[in-house]
A and B are shown apart, each in its own frame.
Chain A
Amino acid sequence: MTPATDLTDSQVMQQSSPRGLDEKLQAYVGEPAASEAYGPDPVNEPMIRHWCEAMGDTNPVYTDPVAAEATRFGGLIAPPAMLQAWTMAGLSGPRGTRTGAYDELLGLLDDEGFSAVVATNCEQEYLRPLRPGERIRFDAVIESVSSRKRTALGAGHFVTTCMNVRVGAELVGTHRFRILKYRPEQRKEKRPQREKEQQAGRPRPVINRDNEGFWAGVAEHKLLVQRCRDCDTLRFPWLPGCNACGSMEWEAVEAAGTGVVYSFVVMHHPPFPAFDPPYAVALIELTEGVRIVSNVVGVPHDEVRIGMPVAVEFRGYGDELTLPVFGPSEPEKAR
């Protein structure tokens, strides 16, 4: 009842389906999905306690009668998110709670090959809390059936039901639920690749004869830049020759490690396995004048500013990788 992969809007696309099937599916819209059904158990303290244990929910209003009495509720209530749980048929399956129409609709989709199901949306309104001892009854209607969509999981149809939950005649909650009935697609190539990427972690630098001195410096927690022996021009990133005079003679000098944010972007999307978006990628202008691309860390991504003073720090990523990144310099931190 939960999707097995991401379903963003861009991944949900219209697909043509046989007109005959669409017509058959649309005929179910407005039909009841459950009628005059009752929760198998009244709202009760043991099920509430089991729920709270599973969720790690320590709100005393659900399980501690004395503490609950001191709240606005004046006694124990059920966690609101349990609304659907009270309607679940459980291991023995539906016992006359679903109507023929809903089973028929799901059966029709099964027959067309859309045999797998995942829940995609749940919208609930709680008109008042439920309390132990109350017995709920519910009605549900098939609100919509989508045309065939192509999703990350495979082609399928979204089915939306809307349920009213009552105690006696009083409406206590509404529950709109959307599932995707789909034809599973085995994505054999994609999945191992993704796992591999995760294991691989952060991309490794390509170290070659031109830049090995820089990475040797990083290993010793030194930020090294090159200086032309002929014209004294500093340069970064590391290159064999001088951009200013063309000389191939150079020496490595250690930068102070201080600078300012010259420019930056914030990465939101797409997420790469080894990174945790949103994060700031910045062009840092070192005090010596050269610029270096790195991450700004230790400050929320939305507080990074152009001109912000930063200082280098060397962070380990996994066992083998150390990278120079930049954090707010001390005066900035103190503010």
Chain B
Amino acid sequence: MSAAVGVVVGQELPELRIPITRTLIVAGAIASRDYQDVHHDTELARAKGSPDIFMNILTTNGLVGRFITDWAGPDAQILKLSIRLGAPNHPGDEMVLTGRVTGVRGTAADIEFTGRNRLGNHVTGTARVDLGQGVRQTVGERAGEGA
């Protein structure tokens, strides 16, 4: 789905459900070059007081980036991404990413998002994304800023 149909404050991004598998946690850690044992070795994670391995922050960041451009489309340019982690993503859980547009300026939209798992909020944060030239008219009209 592309955001080029027009973006208004309050608009919600399509929900993204991510099954938290052991494979995702390990693949994300390795793809982000993060070899900390707590992201791939269950025994060592338990020795450090965690019930199981857990997702690293870079994977969370990557999933949030995907969540935004799945909605905004390939012409979108993410300008800022700010995340704060809470409850960990362990294998067997599911994270549900939801978000909404909190501001529109020119072709850029500010977004607020939350990724919730069954322990609580895994991630909360904000992003700014430039939606590209293609939506300038639509954004201006919808936001009442004139074309």
Residues on A close to B: CB < 8 A?
1-8, 47, 50-51, 53-61, 67-68, 71-73, 79-82, 84-85, 88-91, 116, 118-126, 129, 153, 184-187, 191, 198, 271, 273
Contacts and interface: CB of A to CB of B under 8 A. Distances in A.
Contacts of B147: none
A161 to B, nearest CB: 13
A3 B58 contact: no
A7 B86 contact: yes
Interface residues of chain B: helix, strand, loop or mixed (majority): mixed
B119 A81 contact: no
A196 to B, nearest CB: 13
Given A2-B89, A124-B82, A125-B80, 11 more contacts: A1-B58, A50-B31, A54-B32, A55-B28, A58-B70, A59-B70, A80-B77, A122-B57, A126-B77, A126-B78, A126-B79
Contact of A54 (B48, B59, B86): B59
B51 interface: yes
Contacts of A5: 87-88
Nearest to A7: B86
A54 B62 contact: yes
A59 B73 CA distance: 7
23 contacts: A1-B34, A1-B58, A2-B38, A2-B56, A4-B49, A7-B85, A8-B86, A54-B28, A57-B69, A58-B70, A80-B78, A80-B81, A81-B81, A84-B58, A85-B32, A88-B34, A118-B85, A124-B82, A126-B79, A126-B80, A187-B49, A191-B51, A273-B118
B80 A124 contact: yes
Interface in B35-58: 35-36, 38-39, 48-51, 54-58
A72 B87 contact: no
Given A55-B63, A122-B83, A2 B27 contact: no
Enumerate the 3 nearest inter-chain pairs by beta-carbon distance, A residue then B residue, closest first. Answer: A88-B33, A81-B65, A54-B27
A2 B54 contact: yes
Contact of A2 (B60, B69, B119): B60
A51 B32 contact: yes
Contact of A55 (B33, B36, B66, B89): B66
A122 B57 CA distance: 8
Contact of A122 (B27, B35, B51, B61): B61
A186 B49 contact: yes
Contact of A84 (B35, B61, B70, B87): B61
**Central interface residue in B18, B24, B83, B133, by most chain A CB within 10 Å:** B83
A2 B88 contact: yes
Contacts of A1: 34, 36, 38-39, 56-58
Contacts of A123: 80-83
A58 B69 CA distance: 9
Contacts of A68: 74
A25 B43 CA distance: 32
B132 interface: yes
B121 A185 contact: no
B64 A184 contact: no
Contact of A6 (B49, B83, B86, B118): B86
Contacts of A81: 58, 61-62, 64-65, 78, 81
Contacts of B63: 55
Contacts of A273: 118
A231 B45 CA distance: 66
B74 A71 contact: yes
A273 B132 CA distance: 41
A153 B32 CA distance: 25
A129 B30 CA distance: 22
Given A80-B78, A81-B61, A90 B66 contact: no
Contact of B62 (A55, A91, A120): A55
A197 B34 CA distance: 33
B33 A85 contact: yes
Contact of A184 (B36, B48, B86, B89): B48
Contacts of B84: 120-121
A85 B72 CA distance: 23
Given A120-B85, A186-B49, A125 B31 contact: no
